[in-house]
Amino acid sequence: MKIDFIEELEWRGILHDIMPGTKEQLAKESTSGYIGFDPTADSLHIGHLTQIMTLLNFQRAGHKPFALVGGATGMVGDPSGKSAERNLLSEEILNHNVACVKKQLEKFLDFGTGNNAAEMVNNYDWFKEFRFLDFIRDVGKHITVNYMMSKDSVQKRLESGLSFTEFTYQLVQGYDFYWLYQNKGCKIQMGGSDQWGNIVTGTELIRRKASGDAFALTTKLITKADGTKFGKSEGGNVWLDPAKTSPYKFYQYWLNVSDEDAANFIKIFTQFSKEEIEGLIAEHATAPHLRKLQQALAKDITIRVHSEADYQTALKASSILFGNSTADDLKSLDENTLLNVFEGVPQVSISKSSYENTATVTDLLSEVTQGIIFPSKGETRKMIQGGGVSINKEKITDANSKPDYSLLSNKYLFVQKGKKNYYLIIVE
């Protein structure tokens, strides 16, 4: 269903700045617009999701989205929001990163064949043959130093130091907009609110160099209710690449956000309608402890970024410690997910030979595991008799039985002692 782009951003609470005339341009005709992504890593992270969802909504509104991946600007580095100059990357690394980023964007945008099919462009393609003398003559002469110095991104770095490379970044980004305006018909550039200065430089260059009208729109920078930075976990960035952040950890990140953040994030990062979201918020309010809002958010975004199968695996993994999972659920987890689930759970390593030669499960859970799980055989037997011990989600009923369990991923045993005490035995 076609939507009104500006109204969509407004009710989802992310519109920040909009240049006069932008709304009228979008209402007048299907418009091409773009957002830039610097490929400084071989994966995007959830900090990029606001801009990805902006492009998705732009396309849903009938407009044509361009995703500009900055193969050239990635070699320079944008000073906006940065306190120090970033490391410059080689062409080979950047090309690899560009290919990875495109693969991730394809999960959100329709790169098909329609009139408003998304396109991906790389500014390295038009900068690689652009000589320095030509650039300062054809681009630099149109923008004054006073204009460039007035930008917040420049002012904030004057005391700590700003290289010429970074100072000229706004000209490079401005030329991107000009090139896309001339060659792809792009009339609007979008981005985070910290990009306003760079975006406006592009509209100014188009006005001065091509006598054209171009427009700008920015979205709010996302913050968490407690003031901590959005997109970070204890382990750093939450990546879209499953090799960097597993689907289980990705799912857990969203599942564990606060109620206030969940009500905000579900508007920004999903395509649920206003009515659906209001219904979810109302349902959540009747029983907050069930975390219905977080569950809906985590499910939707995990499926979109990863897959339905990855979501189901994450769901199974989540229930290992906190739900009524089965032995089959546990056995179905791959080693990486298994270790993610048991991160922080006490672990003890034993040799394979000692495991195979252990006479009873009581010996295994006390002496063989060095008293880490149970300090004595007597305490082990007592809890087994009370029905409080299980291995690999199977309750132990005989304290004298031989521990003949299938090793998870050919290496692990999962021990549950009582309701909330968990251990991982590593057999190697």
84 CB neighbour count, 10 Å cutoff: 11
Using CA atoms, how far residue 348 sits from 30, 99, 377, 414, in Å, is 62, 41, 17, 11
271 appears as a binding residue in the annotation:
no
Q: Which of 152, 151, 150, 148 is nearest to 168 (CA)?
A: 148
Give the full edge-to-edge strand order of the sheet including 32-37: 15-18, 215-219, 186-192, 32-37, 64-69, 119-122
In 43-155, which ranges are continuous DSSP H helix?
Answer: 49-60, 91-105, 124-127, 132-138, 145-149, 152-155
Dist. CA 120–CA 101, nearest whole Å = 10
423 appears as a binding residue in the annotation:
no
Cα 47-53-55 angle, rounded to 5 deg: 115
In whole angstroms, what separates CA 297 from the centre of its chain?
Answer: 13
| Amino acid letter for position 253 | Y
34 appears as a binding residue in the annotation:
yes
253 appears as a binding residue in the annotation:
no
Q: Which of 409, 327, 423 is nearest to 380 (CA)?
A: 423
- Crossing angle (nearest 10°) for helices 274-286 and 259-268: 170
Burial class of residue 350, CB neighbours in 10 A (0-12, 13-18, 19+): middle
Annotated binding site for ATP: 232
Annotated binding site: 34, 169, 173, 232
Annotated binding site for L-tyrosine: 34, 169, 173
